[in-house]
Structure 1
Amino acid sequence: MKDQYVGDINDYRKYALLRALSSGGANRIGVCWMLTPSDGGMDGGKLAYLQQPDRHRQVDPELFDILEHAASAPDRRRLATIEGSGAILGARYHNDLLPDELAARHAFMGRCAYAFREVDLIFFDPDNGLEVAKPKGRKDSSKYLYLDEVSAFYSSGKSLLIYQHFPRVERTVFLSRCAERLRVAAPGASLWAFTTAHVVFLLLLHPASPARLHSATDAACTRWAPEFISGRFLGTEPTTHN
């Protein structure tokens, strides 16, 4: 995540989903921004929806107004604005800058685990999504969440929501591959995909997660029109025993 992305259409969908999963603060959400420095690029420029309130505001009027305010001035286009807005009731945030360097990244994840030790669901917001061929510790590895990290947080009893940008490949095949990888990293998880025009949010519900989180997930699947967010269940992988 970068500050320059704050308020764009992907943010609107992201926070709408987190608000739904939070269920008014009943489910405790931890947000790990996986913050990286601005790159001076054009990503994060999808703000045209804010100029069309008649079309978009009814999805979540309170959230729309928060994002419109945040995006209206450069000094407000910061993650701190979102944190202070109360957009996600009761959420906790880990907003350190995520380094590429291996030992520093390990320390970052340790602080994240400690900060979120009492939450029900952790949202990871990498720039791109799940790891690719780039080894952890290399330049720009901070743009990815690695599967061993997924496994570590899941093994601690946490449910996870992961931001994943769609690459330029066939989406059904890509989602199937993501599901295969996550089933290995998180055995026994119930897997869900919340798909949007540009990204998918991959949800792994831990078997120990509260029933209220499962109920919120079910409700989120039919909460919005498909062109905003389309949710579907990908299945449950049985836990294997040696």
Structure 2
Amino acid sequence: MSTHSERKVKYIEETNLLKNTEYYSKLVPDLALDRDTWFVELLQNSKDCDFVFLDPDNGLEIKSKPYGRKNSSKFLFWREVESLWQSEKSLLTYQHFIREKRVNFIQRMLETLKEATNGSFVEAFSTPHVVFLLALQPKHQPLHGAIVESVQKNWSGQIKHWELIRATQLHVSGKI
């Protein structure tokens, strides 16, 4: 039986739901030196992986929570995104919406992600509360169509697909 202190992600890890998947579930520390060690371990554990899903509690870094400070563990830092990208990983990052018009926020985040991941193809998928930011390595870009098709097939009406440039919601057959 689960308690509130248990992380629910472990239940997925204990199944065979996601085949050919490696997990790195070590909690992210706040202190900079500990965080650096955590990140080196993440890079080591993902060395044979092509795709990394990052699930920070809140999303990408914000100015009010600098690296190494209290509660900085709730955020992924752009330098970590850049390092993972340089290790040839495609990335999917969880991001809570903030108090900003959604279309503007998604556009801004996609532009920043594009800058941090040189040569990437970026876009987003959103639910009413969060956005998932995708950066595909050039070698993974041929998979883009299949990814979008799978998301739209499996989560039609639940997940919206957004593209860079206009950050406009894409429609398929007139359905969201």
Q: Does 1:84 align with 2:14?
A: yes
Over the matched positions of the two proteins, sequence identity in percent amounts to 39
Secondary structure of the structure 2 residue equivalent to 1:118:
coil
Corresponding position of 1:157: 88
- Report runs of 4+ in structure 1 exceeding 3 Å deviation: 75-78
Length-normalised TM-score, structure 2: 0.84
Secondary structure of the structure 1 residue equivalent to 2:164:
strand
Task: Judge conservation of contact 2:56–2:74 (CA < 8 Å) in 1.
Answer: yes
One-letter identity of the residue aligned with 1:74: S
Tell me by how many angstroms 1:234 deviates.
2.0
Length-normalised TM-score, structure 1: 0.62
Q: Provide the rounded CA distance (Å) in 2 between the counterparts of 1:181 and 1:103.
A: 26
Q: Provide the rounded CA distance (Å) in 2 between the counterparts of 1:151 and 1:137.
A: 18
Secondary structure of the structure 1 residue equivalent to 2:125:
strand
With over 3 angstroms needed to count, the CA separation of the structure-2 counterparts of 1:163 and 1:121, relative to structure 1, is same
With over 3 angstroms needed to count, the CA separation of the structure-2 counterparts of 1:159 and 1:77, relative to structure 1, is closer
RMSD: 1.8
* Higher RCO (CA 8 Å, separation ≥ 6 residues): 1
Q: Does 1:171 align with 2:171?
A: no
TM-superposition CA deviations, 1:123-169 (whole Å, max 9, x none): 00000001100210010000101111111110111100000001122
Q: Does 1:74 align with 2:11?
A: no
Corresponding position of 1:60: none
Corresponding position of 1:240: none
Q: Provide the rounded CA distance (Å) in 2 between the counterparts of 1:225 and 1:210.
A: 22
Corresponding position of 1:220: 150
Q: Provide the rounded CA distance (Å) in 2 between the counterparts of 1:201 and 1:172.
A: 14
Corresponding position of 1:196: 127
Task: Judge conservation of contact 1:124–1:160 (CA < 8 Å) in 2.
Answer: yes
Task: Judge conservation of contact 2:111–2:164 (CA < 8 Å) in 1.
Answer: no
Task: Judge conservation of contact 1:100–1:139 (CA < 8 Å) in 2.
Answer: yes
Which of residues 204, 209, 216 is equivalent to 2:140?
Answer: 209
Q: Which runs of 5+ in 1 are unaligned?
A: 1-72, 236-242
More helix by share: 1
Corresponding position of 1:140: 71
Q: Which runs of 5+ in 2 are unaligned?
A: 166-176
